[in-house]
Structure 1
Amino acid sequence: MTVWIFITRLLTAVLLGALIGLERQWRQKSAGLRTNTLVSAGSAAFTLISIAITSSNNNVYMGDATRIIGQIVTGIGFLGGGVILRDGLNVQGLNTAATIWCSAAVGALAGTGLYLYAVITALTIALTHIVFRPIGHWINRYPTQKEDSGIFQYTIYIKCKEHVENIVRVRIVNFIKKDSHLQLRSLKSADASPSMAAIEAQIVANGNHHNDIEQLAGQLTLEYGVTEVEWKTDSINEA
């Protein structure tokens, strides 16, 4: 492999990685222009190393160049895992991680000298973000019935002063009586400290009632003597 071939393939990986990164940078994503460019360039460099050390001066292959390429896929998996974040019930960074993974593929293609394939792949990645992003937002406006149907189980945790414990329990029961889709499964109390009580209410709902449970939590938060309110969805059984 000559120096010019090395430079040409590496620069191709850099330019195509930058093309992918421009769209990500425009969207203000955590992995933007520099990250995708470096991932593509690094993948190309590792690929060029594997080609260089497994071929002779006559460009006759003496080993398996795909071994290092296979390790690139594993390494990018760890890098992509670092940009995936969990925020409550939501998971963020999956598209960014997938883009980094694809940028590595573009770099590997450029490193092996498959310029046309590398260009096609890079353009496909960029167009996927540009074209499918608005389509995905449009689909998200219409949640499927499956997401809102079924049996939802909620658990509410309340920490309050002992002298308002009964008042809080009555508030919970009265709130649930107003909605026929809500059913109180259990209501337990325990001593949190010498002057504080801990209340746990398990509520079963027919369908998605996140907003109603949040409304109940908000009302309890405003109750005198209540110091802490927390709720979560324990399980969802689809109908």
Structure 2
Amino acid sequence: MSFLDITRGQSPLVLGLPHTGTELPDAIANSLNTTGRALADTDWHIERLYDGLCPDVTTIRTRIHRYVIDANRDPAGHSLYPGQNTTTLCPTTDFDGTPIYKSGQAPDAAEIERRRMAYHAPYHAALEAEMERIKGLHGFAILYDCHSIRSHIPFLFEGTLPAFNIGTNQGTTCAPALEAAVYDICTASDYATVLNGRFKGGYTTRHYGRPQKGWHALQMELAQSSYLTEDSPPWLYDTAKAGRLRAELSRIFDAIATVAQELPR
């Protein structure tokens, strides 16, 4: 698919990058208002942050922006966080609750279904195929879903978000040893860390996290303040901050690789 970037490796690890894209089809771009066209809710520079950290890794990235359709939302439209503010499969507001479409131009049910079939379904078909391929090589596969977000978003959460936000849907999406290894590296670092806090894992983590099948999944939501100059426009990558963070991410991948040697085949 022309909007998907897929790199096939041979290691047990698969990286999902559903929110780094900034491309908008012309018709959708023209229907967005000034807030929408600012693309503020992009996972800015995450593909750069993770690049080269894990040898021989498989990556699946969509270049389409999440305002077109959110590849990390339930395709049936069910909320992953009932009772809490969130955005929908085809978002109509940004993370501040501000409308992103011009008046009367938000997608209707037919347009949402068209986008689901055009973008959401192919992304997940590719992800599932890679998980199956990797399991065929090793007897298991580990999905690490890469995300980032502004550290201050009152519409979504109170206070300041920790740098490391690990989601395993209360420990159900991966082997306990994997969860523990990642959490231990994060808490041993100088970065604030939370496990299954505001972000417990989106659709991707919950859907592919099937340890009984040999599919393990976790989500890492990073506070953008940990690697950007500021988590505000123009969303500049801070090489010094990112370098420090990359060192910890590399330790996380080393720990995952160590645990992987003991996972059931």
TM-score above 0.5, yes or no: no
Higher share of residues assigned strand: 1
Which structure's relative contact order is higher, taking Cα pairs within 8 Å and 6+ residues apart? Answer: 2
From the CA coordinates, give the structure whose radius of gyration is larger: 1
Q: Which has the higher helix share?
A: 1
